[in-house]
Structure 1
Amino acid sequence: MIHARKAALGAAVAAALAGVSLPALADSKTEAQLRRMIELQAQQIEQQKTQLSAMNQRLSALEHQAAPDASASPAPDPAQVQVAAAVADTRQDDDLAILQAQVAQMATKGTGGDGNVNWRKGGPEFKSADGTFTFHPRGRVLMDFSSTHGSGFDARNVTGTDLASGRLGAEGTYGDVGYKIEADFAGNAVTLKDIYASYETRIGGLPTEFYVGNKLKDRSIDGATGNTTTPFMERNAVASVGGMQSGYFGLGLTTKVYGDNWHASLAVTGDDVGNDSSANDTIAYLARAHWNPVKGSAGFLHVGGWYWYEDLGGDVTSINKTSQVALGWNGEVRVSASSIANPTDDHAWGAELGGVWRSGWAFAETTVRTINSSSEASREQKASSYSAGWLLTGEKPGFSARSGLWSTTKVLNPVTEGGWGAFELLARYDDYDYTDTARGGEGDAWTVGVNWYLNNWSRLMLNVVHWSTNNKVGSYQGQDSGNTVGLRAQVAF
């Protein structure tokens, strides 16, 4: 019986150990076969547990029968002593616990059990045992301090604090289908941002993504990047002036295709979520592409371009573009384009050039937006931006060669692990030109900054902006200039 018990225990342990090796077979088995093997292993383990339980019961009965009678105190039977020793030895080894440990190990590798939890982008990602389902909570807190001085208009010299963004949401996948939903709570108001379903596949051998819902539009480098990864506290002039009347986000269909050193996107969208429902949507058509003609381990060259066209909805009766140039909180420092009445449609194009080399980066963007009207001549609005930066601590710039957008900077020595984090110096020049309109203004801004990345998902930012404006309408007409200092504390996961 003892030999039979040990053989059963050995078979159970071998079955559990065999289950651990399942990940190694993933490359040679189909997903369906792998799932079937996991189910069979689970059944075998349950059978072994049942057999072990039965054996333990029988051995416990033998042990009870072999217990000495205190009154009689007969001489111990050598056979019963051997049985008791086998029972003690078996319980000390606790083979069932070993089996349970093997099952737990399988679960942590995603090959069985109840799934696992990984930490990604500063937050937990929950994954099912077979990897089909994932769920990742998302959130961000961006807290700003801003102070402006030197303006010839006292009303522009303001100091204050602001919650630039407080966002909560989630993203996840169900096989090849993904989803994302985010709500922002800045300005004591709730606004919906990315809310979409996605599908990943391959067309002509190329990775392809489809998005249905409300999504940040793929337009310019800064315009298509979330403000948690842009290197400056505010997006550049091209993102502002070249923006659509329908907004940064649009509810519709977006398709992205990726090659080895390029990407292209197409989108058809309506108004942003929550816009006026009493008139037809503004329908926007958007295309963007980028190419890396040079790409290596040390860096790459980026060339990109984009174009969009809007058929304006009936609720758009005039367009009066104004752009903030003294960071986001100070809404008094703006360049005014003057109002354009009875617009019918508008379109814009943009060009991108730049690259990354080791720990440095430099990019230039330009755009021209044309607005057509039924009551006056077409008007052009122009902007350009030039920026550069260097990571002093040796990190690679957080820019994705795959999508042509700013992404997370990977910190080599995070503060949370006893390091110094990452330090980045940067500078930018922005130019705003609305002078094609009779009463349109112009302005520019020079920005220098320092970023301290504590880890991959948190940073402290300092921006100093020297700005100038020349407006022909509004409360601040004529030449004016000043300086704005901004600080930001950011956590995003």
Structure 2
Amino acid sequence: MTITSRLYPALAAVLFAGAAMPALAAQEVNNAELLRLIKAQAAEIKELKQRLSAVEGHNTQGAIAAEHTGTTAVAAGDESSRRDAQVGNAIADTRESEMAVAMARGNGGGSAGGGSGVRWGRGGEAGPTFRSDDGFFTFKPDGRLLFDVSRTSGSNFESRNITGSQVTSARLGGEGTIGALGYHVEADFADNEVALRQTYLTYTTQVFGQRTRFYLGNFLKDLGTEGSSESARVPFMLRNAATAVGQPVVSYFGLGAQMRMWGDGWHASLSISGNSPNSSTSGSNTDSTTYLTRAHWTPVKGADGFLHVGSWYYYEKISDGVTSINNTPAIAADYNDNLAVSASSIANPTQDHGKGFELGGVYRNFWMMNEYGKRTIDSRTADSVSRHGSSFAAGWMITGEAPGFSQRSGSWKAVKVNDPVTSGGWGAFELAGRVDHYDYADAPRGGTGKSYTLGLNWYLNDWSRLMLNYVHWNTDNKVGGFQGPDAGNTLSMRAQVVF
């Protein structure tokens, strides 16, 4: 057997391995290791090609020495060219496999350091993020679906003991960047209405050496830990009493400008905003104007957790189109509008101001947060009135994940699930409890109320969650259709997907 004939089986084995290896390794190695293996195979094929050429040259010289004439040399040259072409095609196929594997692994064919392509699951959301070759342009379609069902029982008033379901939120929109410029457009379909939510432009830069982002448009206000968080990220189905009671007339959203600055273990924000686009007074009166600032600090942080301290304050000049204020936030379930603490409406309001405080932290897979909010409302025809809300909450990630509270922004983000259901695991489980206190007693015929919430959250993966909230509540209203002491229980469930 000649050297050439011994090389053919070796070459065939390498080519077979080059074709089969990506399929086998995709299940066991990461993308970087896979690419390294493929490149090593290509180098080995190249070396075999060089050795084969040397052997062919040696055989050709031997054939001439054995008195094989020019015809034999031409035939050998043709055979060598044919084999060269086969080897070249094998190398090309290997490189195509490398590209295909890279794209299948989510690289989009780009290099490890960037490039064009599609990335899924960024920021705990299920949607794709598209990226240009140089990374200058990005785009991500996004949205959410929140479906709730709720049942209330035990109230002295039968009209409070109701059962129902609703689409709490169905949002659809998109976001992206153009270099340092960013944009976000999102419409919310809820309560038989359509409203613009996160709809703004951004510019990200460095100010005093700190990362800073400027917003222009309709944005979520930086109001406490839960008021500054998307409703799909907070650990309970309702935001806490501190932000629900303390919020201004223009609520959690407002059209205006905002600046947020982040440092090492702290952040600060300043904003000025008017009515949100769906406000009933927009276009017929001067907007209510809100000046808001918030800051948080992490004085203690380490490998096991951190301590959070924060506060916020706002002043609001109320629009002349607002003739009275009588906000009554839900205390047990978003569906049941009859479960609220009431007070007499405040006529002819001119201005209001609010303040809040935050104290909590994270330790390994445990978290705790205390918040307080106060709102004082001034009127042209009545004395000033103050309303108070407070909340104490704590939670335990049973399966060991880190809680979704961010020390960088001081707000709730997505939970990174260690063992997703969609990968054959159990997902992540969280047990949480909260006590909320609502105090409107400073207002004429103002009521009081408390709620005790026990929640169980099942995170199927980073972007989907099932929630179960049991709430025992009590109210003592002095005005409205549900006067006097009353108590009951509300059981609510939610299914959500964020993409």
TM-score (norm 1): 0.82
Q: Which amino acid aligns with 2:342?
A: S
Match among 409, 424, 429 for residue 418 of structure 1: 424
- Contact 2:188 2:195 (8 Å CA) reproduced: yes
Alignment partner of 2:316 out of 301, 310, 314:
310
- Listed one character per residue, the Cα deviations across residues 380-400 of structure 1 (whole Å, up to 9, x for unaligned) are 011100000001111110010
2:368 to 351, 357, 362: 362
Q: Alignment partner of 1:87: what SS?
A: helix
- Does structure 1 residue 90 correspond to structure 2 residue 84? yes
Q: 1:406 matched to which residue of 2?
A: 412
Asked whether 1:193 is paired with 2:187, we answer no
2:289 aligned to which of 273, 283, 293: 283
The aligned runs of 1:35-74 (5 Å cut-off) are none
Q: The residue matched to 2:75 in structure 1 has which SS?
A: helix
Residue by residue over 1:356-407, the C-alpha shift from the partner in whole angstroms, topping out at 9 and shown as x without a partner, is 0000000000011000111111110111000000011111100100000011
1:108 is matched with 109
Aligned-partner SS, 2:471: strand
1:225 aligned residue (214, 225, 229): 229
Aligned position for 2:451: 445
Give the secondary-structure state (helix, strand or coil) at the position aligned to 2:82: helix
SS of the residue 1:229 aligns to? coil
Distance 1:112 1:371, change over 3 A: closer
Secondary structure of residue in 2 paired with 1:117: strand
Assess if the C-alpha contact under 8 Å between 1:110 and 1:129 holds in 2. Answer: no
On the 8 A contact 2:355/2:375 being kept in 1, the answer is yes
Equivalent AA in structure 1 for residue 116 of structure 2: G
Structure 2 residue aligned with 1:335, among 332, 335, 341?
Answer: 341
Residue of 133, 138, 141 corresponding to 2:145: 141
How far 1:89 sits from its partner (Å)? 2.0
Contact 2:108/2:118 (<8 A) preserved: no
Distance 1:475 1:195, change over 3 A: same
Partner of 1:319: 325
Task: Name the CA shift for 1:485/1:76 in 2 (closer, same or farther; >3 Å).
Answer: farther
Whole-Å separation in 2 of the counterparts to 1:368 and 1:385: 12
SS of the aligned residue for 1:240 comes to helix
- CA deviations on 1:448-491 (whole Å, 9 max, x unpaired) are 01111111111111100001111111111111110000011111
Match of 1:351 among 341, 357, 366: 357
The Cα shift of 1:235 comes to 0.5
Q: Which secondary structure state, in structure 1, belongs to the residue aligned with residue 191 of structure 2? A: helix
Q: How many Å separate the matches in 2 of 1:406 and 1:112?
A: 30
User: How many Å separate the matches in 2 of 1:265 and 1:489?
Assistant: 32
Distance 1:128 1:111, change over 3 A: farther
**Which range moved further: 121-130 or 105-114?**
105-114
Equivalent residue for 1:396, pick from 377, 395, 402:
402
2:165 matched residue in structure 1: 161
Q: Is the 8 A contact 2:115 2:135 kept in 1?
A: no
What letter is aligned with 1:458? S
CA distance in 2 between counterparts of 1:312 and 1:335 reads: 23
Deviations 1:96-142 (A, max 9, x none): 55666677769623589982111122121111111111111112111
Match of 2:178 among 169, 174, 180: 174
User: Counterpart of 1:268?
Assistant: 272
179-188 or 455-464, which deviates more: 179-188
State whether residues 251 and 269 of structure 1, in contact with CA within 8 Å, keep that contact through their aligned partners in structure 2: yes
With 283-292 and 319-328 compared, the bigger mean Cα shift is at: 319-328
Residue type of the partner of 2:80?
A
User: Per-residue displacement from partner, 1:40-83 (whole Å, max 9, x unpaired)?
Assistant: xxxxxxxxxxxxxxxxxxxxxxxxxxxxxxxxxxx992343234
Cα contact 1:110–1:131 (8 A) shared by 2: no
Give the letter for the 2:191 counterpart: G
Q: C-alpha displacement at 1:227, in angstroms?
A: 1.0
Query: How many percent identity over aligned positions?
Result: 50
Counterpart of 1:80?
74
1:262-298 CA distances to partner (integer Å, 9 max, x unpaired)? 0000001110013221000111100000000001111
Q: Does the 8 Å CA contact 1:110/1:128 hold for their aligned counterparts?
A: no
In 2, Cα distance between equivalents of 1:78 and 1:231: 82
Q: Look up the SS of the partner of 1:86 in the other structure.
A: helix
Could you tell which deviates more after superposition, 314-323 or 264-273?
314-323
Q: Distance in 2 between matches of 1:423 and 1:113?
A: 34
**Gap runs ≥5 in structure 2:** 1-68
Question: How far apart in 1 are the matches of 2:413 and 2:108?
Answer: 32
Q: Who is 1:118 aligned against?
A: 119
C-alpha spacing 1:102/1:79, structure 2 compared with 1 (3 Å): farther
Structure 1 alignment gaps of length 5 or more = 1-74
Return the letter of the residue paired with 2:458. Answer: W
- Please show how residues 202-217 of structure 1 align to structure 2 within 5 Å: 202-217=206-221
* Kept in 1: contact 2:157–2:482 (CA 8 A): yes
Give the deviation of 1:239 after TM superposition: 1.5
In 1: Cα distance, 2:365 partner to 2:298 partner = 18
Specify which of 250, 256, 262 is matched with residue 258 of structure 1.
Answer: 262
CA shift, 1:194, in A, is 0.2
TM-score, normalising length from structure 2? 0.81
Give the counterpart of 1:294 among 294, 300, 306: 300
Question: Distance between the aligned counterparts of 1:90 and 1:139, measured in 2?
Answer: 54
| Two-structure CA RMSD over aligned residues (Å) | 1.9
Q: Is the 8 A contact 1:209 1:257 kept in 2?
A: yes
1:234-245 alignment, distance < 5 Å: 234-245=238-249
The CA deviation at 1:219 is 0.4
SS of 2:337's equivalent in the other structure is: coil
CA gap of 1:99–1:426, structure 2 versus 1, over 3 A, is closer
Counterpart CA distance in 2 for 1:78 and 1:294 is: 84
